[in-house]
């Protein structure tokens, strides 16, 4: 499926969300980034709601569960509360965050970032669509076009949260491989996104010897390989997902290459170390030096390239709130009927985890207590048409989400908010 942010199909999903939560008795509002907030009243409504939620936008070619499970399970939570006449001490809400994927408007988690105060509204509104190519739309023009440019300010002050719980598929293979039913997420690893530009010189492939080439693509290829070697040395991750080159002719040596670089690790210090080592290695490779044995087997050249870096996005490591993590652990133990909830071991049913991917809970956690719940997905596949999580796994996640929200509501009541 493809439900890109602020597209016509995204509007249909938003309309469904508004209609369904309104029918369940919620008061729904939309903020200036298109974030949707549905609130079910509690016994005391002078305090912020406890929220559950995620996002409804997808990647271009896959994502039937990524984000969507978190929203639909949260809406189901509202229905279960109504069907069982449950009165919560404080309001309970569901949130649908805008453009979490960053696929169409290239800044992931942008709307929750504006809500938290970390990303300026003007910068977010001016993000340009990259799908389809040559699209002139911006986030603001598309919010206006589909009717979801809300009149409520996008901020944690205008739409406060007492807590934020997010159910999500793992997007990795660990839970399935270890036969675990639930992942109790304690935090999200640090990551940085860069655009690296390599400049050489266009030349004829048949008339220019290896010695006289300044091949930007060959140099960029060495850099990408170096990034993997360096990340591996630091027990980190590095990936390149976008590569463009010019002039793009079969018989012309490329003189210009740009590629993305995504560096991730559980600790900020590790990401910074990988970045520093990559910058040193890339500069040496551009100058024609042999580093990390990258040049083995390549003919030497008398001409060199240049390399420039641009930092596109920085997401520091996130550590979720102990109270929220404890509520998820206890709800998982209740559901599965076993496990020692002591902060270190959740028993055979679950696993304490750090998320490898970014989520809206990263920004929510900056302004309120937060935590996440993972459920297994088949073969660990995500952002792909084959993405799948079984009905049983989805039900486990939904039940733990409900239990965690109710436990947190009870905790608030015991502490007088």
Decide if 141 is inside a domain.
yes
Is there a contact between 105 and 10 (Cβ–Cβ < 8 Å)? no
Q: What is the pLDDT of residue 341?
A: 47
Determine what percent of the chain is predicted with pLDDT higher than 90.
89
Same domain, 66 and 184: yes
- Asked, for residue 62, whether it belongs to a domain, the answer is yes
Could you tell me which residues are beta bridge partners of residue 176? none
| pLDDT confidence tier of residue 300, bands split at 50, 70 and 90 | confident
Count of positions (residues) in the chain: 417
Tell whether 211 is covered by a domain. yes
Residue 307 lies in a domain: yes
Give tens-digit pLDDT for 249-267. 999 999 999 999 999 999 9
In this structure, are 220 and 268 located in the same domain?
yes
Average pLDDT, the chain: 95
Q: Band of the pLDDT at 133, cuts 50, 70, 90? A: confident
Last residue of a domain, one of 289, 315, 341: 315
**Residue 409 vs residue 302, higher pLDDT:** 409
Q: Residue 243 is part of a domain; what is its CATH number?
A: 3.30.70.360
326 and 250 share a domain?
no
| CATH code: domain of residue 89 | 3.40.630.10
Determine, yes or no, domain membership for 345. yes
Residue 2 domain flag: no
Three-state DSSP at 381 gives coil
303 and 325 co-located in one domain: no
Q: How many structural domains comprise the chain?
A: 2
Q: Which domain holds residue 44?
A: 8-188+317-415
Regarding whether 229 and 167 lie in a shared domain, the answer is no
Q: Convert the pLDDT of each residue in 191-230 to its tens digit.
A: 999 999 999 999 999 999 999 999 999 999 999 999 999 9
| 315 vs 318 pLDDT, higher one | 318
Residue where a domain stops, chosen among 281, 299, 315: 315
Same domain, residue pair 199 and 182: no
Mind listing the pLDDT tens digit for each residue in 326-358?
999 999 999 998 655 444 557 789 999 999 888
Helix-strand-coil percent breakdown of the chain, rounded to 5? 35, 25, 40
Neighbours of 357 (CB within 10 A): 18
Do residues 214 and 299 both lie within one domain?
A: yes
CA 51 to the chain's CA centroid: 18
Residue 326 and residue 213 share a domain: no
C-alpha span between 318 and 324 (Å, rounded) = 14
**Is residue 97 domain-shared with residue 219, that is, in the same domain?**
no
- Structure tokens belonging to residue 110: 């942008």
pTM metric for this prediction: 0.84
Are 342 and 222 found together in one domain?
no
Half-sphere exposure of 262 (CA within 13 A, CB side): 12
Whether residue 32 sits in one domain with residue 168 = yes
- Whether the pLDDT of residue 375 is over 50: the answer is yes
Residues 56 and 205 in one domain: no
């Amino acid at each position: 499926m493809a439900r890109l942010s602020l597209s016509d199909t995204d509007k249909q999903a938003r309309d469904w969300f508004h209609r369904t939560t309104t029918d369940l008795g919620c008061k729904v509002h939309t903020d200036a980034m298109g974030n949707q907030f549905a609130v079910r009243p509690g016994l005391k409504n002078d305090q912020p709601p406890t929220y559950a939620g995620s996002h409804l936008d997808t990647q271009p070619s896959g994502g039937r569960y990524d984000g969507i499970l978190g929203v639909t399970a949260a809406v189901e939570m509202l229905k279960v509360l109504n069907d069982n006449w449950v009165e919560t001490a404080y309001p309970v809400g569901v949130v649908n965050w805008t453009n979490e994927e960053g696929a169409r408007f290239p800044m992931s988690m942008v709307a929750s970032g504006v809500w938290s105060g970390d990303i300026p509204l003007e910068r977010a509104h001016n993000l340009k669509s990259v799908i389809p190519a040559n699209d002139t739309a911006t986030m603001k023009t598309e919010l206006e076009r589909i009717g979801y440019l809300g009149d409520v300010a996008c901020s944690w002050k205008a739409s406060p949260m007492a807590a934020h719980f997010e159910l999500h598929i793992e997007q990795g293979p660990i839970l399935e491989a270890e036969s675990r039913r639930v992942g109790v997420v304690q935090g999200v690893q640090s990551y940085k996104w860069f655009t690296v530009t390599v400049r050489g010189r266009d030349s004829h492939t048949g008339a220019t010897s290896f010695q006289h080439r300044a091949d930007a693509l060959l140099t960029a290829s060495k850099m990408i390989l170096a990034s993997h070697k360096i990340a591996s040395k630091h027990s980190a991750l590095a990936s390149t997902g976008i590569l463009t080159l010019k002039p793009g002719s079969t018989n012309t040596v490329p003189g210009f290459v740009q590629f993305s670089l995504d560096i991730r690790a559980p600790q900020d210090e590790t990401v910074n170390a990988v970045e520093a080592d990559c910058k040193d290695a890339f500069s040496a490779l551009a100058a024609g030096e042999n580093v990390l044995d990258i040049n083995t087997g390549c003919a030497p050249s008398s001409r060199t390239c240049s390399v420039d870096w641009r930092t596109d996005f920085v997401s520091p490591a996130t550590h979720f709130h102990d109270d929220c993590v404890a509520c998820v652990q206890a709800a998982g133990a209740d559901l599965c009927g076993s496990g020692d909830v002591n902060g270190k071991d959740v028993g055979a049913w679950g696993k304490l985890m750090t998320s490898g991917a970014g989520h809206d809970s990263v920004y929510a956690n900056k302004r309120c207590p937060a935590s996440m719940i993972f459920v297994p997905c088949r073969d660990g596949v995500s952002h792909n048409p084959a993405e799948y999580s079984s009905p049983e796994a989805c039900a486990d996640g939904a039940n733990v989400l409900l239990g965690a929200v109710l436990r947190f509501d009870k905790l608030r009541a015991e502490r007088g908010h």
